[in-house]
Amino acid sequence: MKKIFIILCLLAMALMFTGCSGVIRMHSYKNSEKYSVGNKEYSGEIKKLNIDWYVGKVKIVISDKISISENSNNLKDKQKVHSYFEDGVLDVKFWESGYSAKINDTDKHVTIEIPNGVDISINSISALITTDDIENNNIDIKTVSGNIDISSLVSKNVNIYSVSGSITIDKVVCDELEIESVSGKVETFDTTTKNIKVHTVSGKIYVSLRDFLDADFDSVSAKINVKLLDELGMMIKFKSTSGELIVDNENISFKIVDKKYKIGDGSRNLDVKTTSGNLYLR
């Protein structure tokens, strides 16, 4: 779990910028004097979207335009979404640089419209993150406790890190998929990828595989559920202190080869590690 420390750093950041009083303290960001305030529409070619958010909701919508809209009727200008677009990069900030205040979750819902083909990077504390069906080159999401709900995703590289927020992807087609969580549940319902890594501490893992080459699932105490959507040949290496491999599909049969479980032609690799969690193959 080489990136779990990133998640713990996010947790520390959450405590630093929200505090026990519930006050959100926005970090100072560069070029703050150039940022636009409130709802905004931009023109030009966009290559990358960067979002820094704290609470509320972030919704990504695929469109032929570049726009930012927020339910900001009751907000001061300092509390409204701030954005800056230059050289194909759109930066979206929760509110004014260095500003501190309390805010209700329902007052900070932002919808961002972008065309397909844009790299997306989101750093969030507890905001719900949702997306339309999207096609892009790379997506990177880091959150502490906010849930992530992705409808359909076609991408090159997908990286998602969370502390306690649940992660749900209805359908994903990508080259590289990496998900890490401490206690948040991870679900991918239709997955086609070359390489997939899912690591948790206690968060349950449920992955439905359409096709893959190499899969690496790792958890300390959580159950790991792997559902095969097609007939896939693979070699399974399962290592656990007290967990068991349980096959819950009468159509799946295997034989032991070099301490691995071979299914079909054994052309794919599935590596699973747990301390006490079981592996369910369905």
Residues 24-83: tens digit of each pLDDT: 988 899 999 999 999 999 999 999 999 999 999 999 999 999 999 998 778 999 999 999
Q: Give the other-Cβ count within 10 Å of 248's Cβ.
A: 10
Q: Give the other-Cβ count within 10 Å of 203's Cβ.
A: 25
Token pair, residue 195, equals 């390489």
Tens digit of pLDDT for each residue in 201-247? 999 999 999 999 999 999 999 999 999 999 999 999 999 999 999 99
Tens digit of pLDDT for each residue in 145-182? 999 999 999 999 999 999 899 999 999 999 999 999 99
Tens digit of pLDDT for each residue in 135-148? 988 999 999 899 99
For the segment 183-207, the average pLDDT, to the nearest whole number, is: 96
Tell me what percent of the chain is helix, strand and coil, each rounded to the nearest 5: 10, 50, 40
Dist. CA 265–CA 275, nearest whole Å: 29
Phi and psi at 131, nearest 5°, equal: -140, 155
The confidence score (pLDDT) of residue 23 equals 87
Question: Closest Cα to residue 103, out of 125, 130, 129?
Answer: 125
Token pair, residue 266, equals 């054994």
Helix (H) or strand (E) holding 5: helix 4-18
Bridge partner list, 171: 152
Residue 15 predicted with pLDDT over 50: no
Question: Closest Cα to residue 121, out of 58, 40, 63?
Answer: 58
pTM: 0.92
DSSP 144: S
Under a CB-based contact definition with an 8 Å cutoff, are residues 210 and 226 in contact? no
Percent of the chain surpassing pLDDT 90: 83
Output 107 or 158, whichever has higher pLDDT. 158
Output 9 or 175, whichever has higher pLDDT. 175
Let me know how long the chain is: 282
